[in-house]
Amino acid sequence: MSKLTIGRMATLYGLHRSTLHEAVAKGRVTASLDGKGQKVIDLSEMIRVYGEAPGQARQSPTPTPDTPPTPPLDTLQPLLEEMRLLREEVRELRQALRLLEHKPEAMPEVVPAQPKAASVSKHQGPATWASLFSALDE
């Protein structure tokens, strides 16, 4: 079961903390230390000594014969309407997201331009190169 500090257990049972500290000191209630060094009491120990906490009695999982199986429709109608409106809003938001989705366009393939020399072509022979260099020397 769960363990609570003495202060929280006192609040749960409507007792004063000093009452629980006294019960622990006299050995009526067993307490232990948690990882933080605080005194904690197991809920089963409190139930053994003081019974169920006020207002914390367990409810039977089986409904009583006078409990209706489902709430009346008039109490469910506002909830159903709110659910319908929320579903519509979610549908609209999904549609808006589809319209806003970023789809990058295909970039056109760029072919790098070949640099062209002023008057030199690949097919000119070594004699042409020599004449160009001699022209530069002049």
> What kind and span of H or E run contains 17?
helix 17-25
Q: What is the mean pLDDT of residues 17-29?
A: 92
Question: Which CATH code, of 1.10.10, 1.20.1740, 1.20.1280, 1.10.260, is assigned to 3-50?
Answer: 1.10.10
Q: What is the mean pLDDT of residues 36-48?
A: 89
Q: What's the mean pLDDT when you consider all of the chain?
A: 78
In this predicted structure, which of 21-35, 73-87, 115-129 has the lowest mean pLDDT? Answer: 115-129
With a cut of 90, say whether residue 2 has pLDDT above it. no
pTM of this prediction exceeds 0.75: no
Query: Which pLDDT score is estimated for 87?
Result: 93
What is each CA distance from 17 to 13, 79, 84, in whole angstroms?
10, 43, 50
With a cut of 70, say whether residue 135 has pLDDT above it. no
- How would you label 40-55 residue by residue, b for 16+ Cβ within 10 Å and e otherwise? bbbbebbeeebeeeee
pLDDT in tens, 83-104: 899 999 999 998 888 888 766 6
